Every structure is written in structure tokens, then in C-alpha cells.
Amino acid sequence: MHCLWCENEVEFSLTWKSLLIPSREKVLCSSCRGKLELLQGERCNMCSRVSMEKLCSDCKRWQSLTHPSSLQWNYSIYKYNYFMKELVAKWKYRGDYTLGVSFQSIFQEHFKVHFNHLRKSAIAVPIPLSHERLKERGFNQAQMLTEFLPIESCSPLERLHGEKQSKKTKKERITGGNPFKLKETIKKQVILVDDIYTTGATLHQAARLLIDSGCPAVYSYTLIRG
Amino acid sequence: MTQLQDDKELPHLSSDQLSPDQLSAYYSGKRLLRNEIHIQEVYFQWLLSKQYFIPVPAIKRKLFHYTCQRCGNSRRSLFGDIPCASCGETHVYCRKCIMMGRVLACDFLYYWNGPVIERTLLQYEPCTWEGTLTSTQEKAANRIVKAIQLQEKELLIWAVCGSGKTEMLFAGISEGLKKGLRVCIATPRTDVVQELKPRIQQAFSSIPIEALYGGSNDTEAKAQLIISTTHQLLRFQEAFDIMIIDEIDAFPFHSDPSLLFAVQRSRKLKSTSIYLTATPRKQHQMQILLKQLPHFFVPVRYHGHPLPVPYMKMSISLKKDVQNNHPPASFVSWLKKRKNPNRQLLIFVPTISLVESLLASVTKLLLQEQMIKNKFEIASVYANDGARVEKVQAFRDKKLVAIMTTTILERGVTFPSVDVAIFDAGHDVFDEAALVQIAGRAGRSAEDPKGEVVFFHDGKTEAMIKAVEMIKEMNKRIADF
Ligand SMILES: [Zn+2]
Ligand SMILES: [Zn+2]
Ligand SMILES: [Zn+2]
């Protein structure tokens, strides 16, 4: 088997476990995996950013802007370091779908630890791409991550195309600049799934829409804290 | 894809839409994905129905065996499965050539089948280079011209580092351009393409030239004279009459068969290929020996001086020194008694991590020896180094006195007056060709043809011995030449 990134042979120590793993599992070699950095140490309770404060400056600002906050909290796994940027660029923008498979097991493991209490009560919702973007890329990376999770999922959100968003349309005045539209209401708790939490704006906007239509609570689970 | 009636009328074209004759300049000799063809959909469909473009399924499938029709990849591990939003099916895509735009199994590649572009014969001499060739260079240049005139299939030019091979090409390129032939100079490395472009442009000042590499601004790729990385050749099909491959030994052909595939498909069936190398690989040397590959040998540097012969310095504690982040002990003693302390210093080390771990102590040493005035006069350079081009230029401009680097600078770069040191020359990355190339960085100018080359090692390897033998052999041949 070859590393999904560098193409070098991946060496396995033969254990019972490795014998039981289907041989088609796709992974990174240990050297490439070592270049990914887990978020470690103290972090912001709200957004997962590495921070000594319980509530980081970004999140304080969010709370002052939107009161009460529509998003309960976000949990992320990795730092957005140089290697991760390259990996994401190839996966998402070049459309190398298979690269995403290398995140499958860690995305499942961390879910078990941090979202287990929501397992029964929540439904996973991927952040969508606009139709145009989806057509261009061939797949939605958030959808891919959502499918790794052991819970039910659905896609109530629709993303309006970027161009429409920049123009001051009638629609925008109605939605208050929200790039999303709700296709159906959700009465269960929601875990929003996306590849990256950068400013949090996208996730907060999606959460706002869900809360306003009667969703009891919205959390987010992202692979990377940018 | 929608099928169109054959008798369909030519759709009304907007004023900026080109006629099929005009399109041939852009698309003949190409093999492209739909999104690389900048033609409105209705017009494109009409061109398809008239067979101006011929579609080919982008990935060929035979039972469970796939072949990418752009890059030739057929390794199953380099195909991914994707639930495709474009066609709604789950199917394979090629991971091998994805950096040039993804090839999906539901895609087609299109090649031009319309009018062939007629290139006018030139009535004037396109070469504006005013320099003069040495008699050796001239012999090589004449041999290349002859190969083109006689439409020979292949010719290998074995020319030592510093023989001025680019200049040897000018006459052959001229000959091709005058005859209306399409010429490509291909090299594996982006920085070499970037370096060649201004030199070739200066030598052919009135001829449009395009340089193709990932991220270049020249994207039309319709010029008669093209300088390209091998990867970019994947967008061509039977395009070139003359294919010049620079540094053919540097092609990772053995590890990346798609490069060979790209070269072969991009040249016309009847074409002339010129290979340039200072250090031919075994396979080519064998073919030369068996007289299967016509070749021409250029053992003399343009300034007529012999190649500097490397000498080896044993340093038993080398591994220990290096582990403790120190340069080899014998490097320190050599540094104190260099023959010409005014030369700049090129230091090669086997790995990027060693470049990083040794930089501090080498900087300290050079400061102690007063070779540099401050730590900004030394820099490290390696692959993926964002500032690589700037650093190499700073070294050329003598703003830097010393550079520590990996094999990334083993070829393609010329500095007039340097001494060259290799730390741990016995390491696997320094094979015979790499060592000869690295040694070839020294003594490049007529003003200072005698740079020192030192292999610091803790045990001679076959590669080191063979490299020195090869250099001596070349120098011996100068006399016979
Ligand atoms: Zn925060
Ligand atoms: Zn391919
Ligand atoms: Zn498809």
C-alpha cells in the first residue's frame, strides 16, 4: 500500500488488528501523518482555538455581536499548518476526493470522545456548497466528512451562489446577508460539519438559520481550526 | 454529451469567436479537457458535430484495469473513486495528473482534427545571438543541424558541465524555425524553464516564445517555439517536429513513466529528438556503446580549461560531527587553507534536515574565519523553499558569500567563481551523476577556471570513485578531440 500523499510504501507491523483491517484502507505514511499537528493544550471552550483563556477574543466578539450565540460550541482536531494547507488544497480545490479518506478514522475517534453524549439526540448536517461550486469540484468535502460519522444525517441547508451574495439583492435583504437558505426545519439538535473553522462566520450563519426555525441547539464539528 | 445532427447549421457567432482556421492555431497538437477549451458550448457542439474536435474517453477501462488517457497512468493505486456530482455516478478519477486539473472517468479529452496550421517559411535568419561559438561548440551545432536536415530520429549530445550547450542549440532551432517546424525545448524542472526563457528569447528576439510550467502566464501554448516542463507536455498530442530534451538524465523516467509517455505523445510521428546530457544514464551509455543511439561528444568547456578534479577528504568522525550539528572536522582545516579564499562557497549536504541543523554552526565557523561579515551573508536553499529563486540570485549578485543546499542545486545553476564542498559525499543521494554534476559547478568562468571540489566522507563509495574517474576520462578526451 502507498501513502496517499507522498506515494511511499506504507509499512505495517503485522498484528491481529492490522490483519483485520480491510487492506483497501487508505492512509498517510507515518512521516506525512507526523507533519499534521493536533490542537493541543488549553483551548477556547467555544471555538477550539488554542488559547489560555476559556473564551478567546474572537469568541468574545461573536458573543457581543450575536446575543444569544446561535452556536453552542465548535470542536476541531487539527491546526491549519503548512502541510495541512497543502493537503486541503489538493483535496478540496484540486478535487482529490480520496485524500479525504485519510481523515476517516481520526474524525470518527474524536467524535466518540467529544460528541458521544449527542449520539442519540443529534443529527449531522454538512455545510453545503453552492450548485455551481459543487459542479466544479465534483464533491462536497463537508458531506464526505459527515458520511464518516456514526449518526444520522440530512441536508436541510442550501447555499446561494457567491455572486448573488455579493450583490445587494432582494433575497439578501430578506435573509440578512445569510448565504444559506433552509429547505426544511429540523427539530432535533444539530451537529454542523465542515472541513475548517476559520472566522466561524459561515457556521454561525448556518446555526442562526437553524435556531430561528426552531432547532433546539446547534454544535459544530470541524476537522481544522484555521 | 448531446448528439447533434450532422447537417446542423453553424451557430451564430459573437464577434470575438474565432473561425475554425483561426482555432487551429490554438488547438492543433493539443489534447485537452473541455474546461481547457475556451469556446462557447453551442459553438463547441457544432465543432464536435463537424469533427473539428474528436472526443476520447478520458479514462480507458478494460475489465478492472484503467488507463488515464492524458498521463498514461495505469496503476490502480493512483486512481481514486469519487461519487461524482457532475454525472451522479461513483467512478474513478486519475490522481496521478490531478495537479493539471482532474481527469474524471465521465470526462472526455478532445484533440483537434480541423485544418492544420500552415507555418510560413522564414525568409530571414531568426537567430539574433551575436556571440561566437568555440570550434567545439560549432561542431556540435553543425551535427544538430544535420540531424534536423536529415530528419534523424534521435541524437544524444554528451556535453560536459560548462560546455555552453544552450548556445550549441541555436543553429538547430534556427533551421527548424526557417522550415516552419514546431520546436519544443523540454526540461523536468520549472526553474530551468524560467531561466531558459529569457536566454532563448534574447537569441530569437523576433520569434514569439512561450514558457510552459505550472503557474506560468503563457497559457495559450500556440507559439512555434515552446519551452516547457515535461508535465506540461501532457496537454499536447503530435505537436512537435523537433523535441529538444535538456538534461535527459535528470528525468525521473524510471520512477515516473508518465514523463516518457508525455514526451513521446507530444512529438510528431516523424520528428527529430535531441537529447542533452552531461552525465548520461547507464541505459544511454549502453545504447551508445552498442551504436543504437547516435551521439556527439563535447568534452571541452567553452573556456577550454579542463574540469576541476574533485579530491576526497576522509573524516572518520564525520557522522558523529554531523549528529552533534557540527561540520566535518576536516572541513574546518580545509577552510583555513583554500587556494583562493575570494571564491564563494557552495556546500552540499544530503538532506533538508541537515541543511537546517548545520546552518548555525557553519555560520559561526565562517564568522570566526572572517569569511563572512554577518549571518546574512550565508543562506540555506532547498526544494519547496519559497525564497529559492531570490537566494540563488543573491548568491549570483555576491550578496551571499556561502550557500548550504541539497542536491536541488546540483545542476542548472551557474556561478562564476565558487569552491564546492560536499558533506557526507558517501550518502546514497549522491550517486555518480549527482557528484559529477555538483563538481561541474566549479571553474565555470574563464577568469577563474579552477575552483576546488572536495568530497568530505567517512569511507569512499563506488559512486565517488566512479565520478572522479569519469571527470578524469573527460579531461583526457580533450587532448584527443
Ligand atoms: Zn474561541
Ligand atoms: Zn492522469
Ligand atoms: Zn462523473
Distance CA B188, CA B252 (A): 8
Which residue of B85, B95, B99 is in closest CB contact with A139?
B85
**B285 shares its domain with B321:** no
Which residue of A94, A96, A138 is in closest CB contact with B86?
A138
Higher pLDDT, B300 or B9: B300
**B292 shares its domain with B417:** no
Q: Calculate how close chain A gets to B52, using CA atoms only, in Å.
A: 26
Show residues of chain B in contact with A1, CB under 8 Å: 77
pLDDT on residue A64: 79
Among chain A, residues having any CB pair with chain B shorter than 8 Å are 1-2, 90, 94-98, 134-135, 137-140
Q: Calculate how close chain B gets to A21, using CA atoms only, in Å.
A: 17
Q: How remote is the CA of residue B98 from the centroid of ligand 2, in Å?
A: 7
Residue B299 above 50 pLDDT? yes
Distance CA A64, CA A60 (A): 6
Residue B255 above 90 pLDDT? no
Residue B2 above 50 pLDDT? no
| Alpha-carbon distances of B268 from B221, B260, B414, rounded to whole Å | 16, 14, 33
Secondary-structure percent of chain A, ordered helix, strand, coil, rounded to 5: 40, 20, 40
Compute the mean pLDDT over every residue in chain A, rounded to the nearest whole number: 86
Ligand 2 (ion): residues with CB under 5 Å are B 68, 70-71, 73, 94, 96-97
Please tell me if residue B85 touches chain A, with a CB cutoff of 8 Å.
yes
Could A94 and B83 be called an inter-chain contact, meaning their C-beta atoms sit closer than 8 Å?
no
Weakest mean pLDDT among A65-74, A144-153, B39-48 = A65-74
Strand order in B402-405's β-sheet?
Answer: B311-314, B453-457, B418-423, B344-348, B402-405, B378-381
Range B28-36 average pLDDT: 94
| Alpha-carbon distances of B52 from A41, B114, B220, B316, B466, rounded to whole Å | 62, 4, 18, 69, 55
Distance CA B89, CA A140 (A): 15
B34 in any annotated domain: yes
Range A6-30 average pLDDT: 64
pLDDT on residue B10: 60
Residue A177 above 90 pLDDT? no
Show residues of chain A in contact with B104, CB under 8 Å: 138
Could A138 and B84 be called an inter-chain contact, meaning their C-beta atoms sit closer than 8 Å?
yes
**B268 shares its domain with B317:** no
**B357 shares its domain with B451:** yes
Whole-number percent of chain B with pLDDT over 90: 77
**B331 shares its domain with B424:** yes
DSSP strand E in A127-209: where?
Answer: 157-159, 180-182, 189-197
Q: How remote is the CA of residue A138 from the centroid of ligand 3, in Å?
A: 8
pLDDT on residue B175: 96
**Apex B57 CA angle, B56 and B63, nearest 5:** 135
Burial class (CB in 10 A: 0-12, 13-18, 19+), B78: buried
Which residue of A2, A96, A135 is in closest CB contact with B86?
A135
Domains in chain A (CATH in brackets) are 1-34 (no CATH), 38-225 (3.40.50)
pLDDT on residue A157: 96
**B274 shares its domain with B360:** no
Could B80 and A2 be called an inter-chain contact, meaning their C-beta atoms sit closer than 8 Å?
no
Task: For residue A131, give the chain B residue with the closest CA.
Answer: B85
Q: How remote is the CA of residue B86 from the centroid of ligand 3, in Å?
A: 5
pLDDT on residue A173: 46
Using the 8-state DSSP alphabet, how is residue B438 labeled?
H
CATH number, domain at B165?
3.40.50.300
Task: Give the pLDDT band of residue B4 (cuts 50, 70, 90).
Answer: very low
Could A90 and B98 be called an inter-chain contact, meaning their C-beta atoms sit closer than 8 Å?
yes
B36 in any annotated domain: yes
Residue A199 above 60 pLDDT? yes
Distance CA B272, CA B148 (A): 6
Residue A110 above 60 pLDDT? yes
Q: Which helix (H) or strand (E) holds B345?
A: strand B344-348
B384 in any annotated domain: yes
**B278 shares its domain with B163:** yes
Q: Tens of pLDDT along B180-231?
A: 999 999 998 888 898 899 999 999 999 999 999 988 887 788 999 999 999 9
pTM as predicted: 0.83
Residue B16 above 60 pLDDT? yes
Q: Tens of pLDDT along B397-442?
A: 999 999 999 998 888 788 999 999 999 999 999 999 999 999 999 9
Size of interface A-B (CB pairs under 8 A): 40
Could A138 and B77 be called an inter-chain contact, meaning their C-beta atoms sit closer than 8 Å?
no
**B290 shares its domain with B351:** no
B6 in any annotated domain: no
Task: For residue B256, give the chain A residue with the closest CA.
Answer: A7
Which residues have C-beta within 8 Å of that of residue B270, sequence separation ≥ 6?
A: B151, B241
Could B99 and A135 be called an inter-chain contact, meaning their C-beta atoms sit closer than 8 Å?
no
DSSP strand E in B45-176: where?
Answer: 53-57, 59-62, 65-68, 79-83, 90-94, 103-104, 108-112, 154-159
Q: Tens of pLDDT along B265-279?
A: 999 999 999 999 999
* Nearest ligand atom owner, CA of B69: 2
* Nearest ligand atom owner, CA of A199: 1
Q: Calculate how close chain B gets to A26, using CA atoms only, in Å.
A: 10
Could A134 and B85 be called an inter-chain contact, meaning their C-beta atoms sit closer than 8 Å?
yes
Residue A170 above 80 pLDDT? no
In single-letter form, the type of residue at position B424 comes to D
Which residue of B80, B85, B104 is in closest CB contact with A98?
B80
DSSP per residue over B383-396, as a string? TT-TTHHHHHHHHH
Q: Model ipTM?
A: 0.86
- Which of A27, A98, A132 is the mutation pick for testing B, counting most B CBs within 10 A? A98
Q: Calculate how close chain B gets to A128, using CA atoms only, in Å.
A: 13
At residue B132, what are phi and psi to the nearest 5 degrees? -120, 145
**B204 shares its domain with B334:** no
* Nearest ligand atom owner, CA of A197: 1
Contact A123, A149 (CB under 8 A): no
Could A138 and B85 be called an inter-chain contact, meaning their C-beta atoms sit closer than 8 Å?
yes
Do the bridges between strand B209-212 and strand B311-314 make them parallel or antiparallel, or are there none, so unpaired? Answer: unpaired
Q: Tens of pLDDT along A56-79?
A: 988 888 777 766 778 999 999 999
Weakest mean pLDDT among A74-88, A173-187, B126-140 = A173-187
Q: Calculate how close chain A gets to B38, using CA atoms only, in Å.
A: 16
pLDDT on residue B116: 86
| Domain hosting residue B88, numbered range | 20-112
**B285 shares its domain with B337:** no
Whole-number percent of chain B with pLDDT over 70: 96
Residue A92 above 60 pLDDT? yes
A209: β partners: none
pLDDT on residue B389: 82
Could you say which of B298, B328, B362 is where a domain stops?
A: B298
B321 in any annotated domain: yes
In single-letter form, the type of residue at position B229 comes to T
Could A138 and B95 be called an inter-chain contact, meaning their C-beta atoms sit closer than 8 Å?
no
Residue B78 above 50 pLDDT? yes
Show residues of chain B in contact with A137, CB under 8 Å: 85
Number of domains in chain B: 3
Could you say which of B244, B275, B298 is where a domain stops?
A: B298
Range A173-199 average pLDDT: 87
At residue A120, what are phi and psi to the nearest 5 degrees? -85, -35
Per the structure block, which three cell numbers stand in for A133?
461550486
Considering A7-16, B34-43, B147-156, the range whose residues carry the highest mean pLDDT is: B147-156
Radius of gyration of chain B (CA): 25
Task: For residue B95, give the chain A residue with the closest CA.
Answer: A96
Range B319-324 average pLDDT: 91
Contact A189, A123 (CB under 8 A): yes
Range B248-258 average pLDDT: 74
Could you say which of B112, B127, B154 is where a domain stops?
A: B112
**B146 shares its domain with B97:** no
B11 in any annotated domain: no
Distance CA B358, CA B420 (A): 16
Task: For residue A90, give the chain B residue with the closest CA.
Answer: B99
B78 in any annotated domain: yes
**B196 shares its domain with B326:** no
Burial class (CB in 10 A: 0-12, 13-18, 19+), B178: middle
Q: Calculate how close chain A gets to B407, using CA atoms only, in Å.
A: 19
Distance CA B47, CA B49 (A): 5
At residue B164, what are phi and psi to the nearest 5 degrees? 80, 55
pLDDT on residue B386: 78
B74 in any annotated domain: yes
pLDDT on residue A129: 95
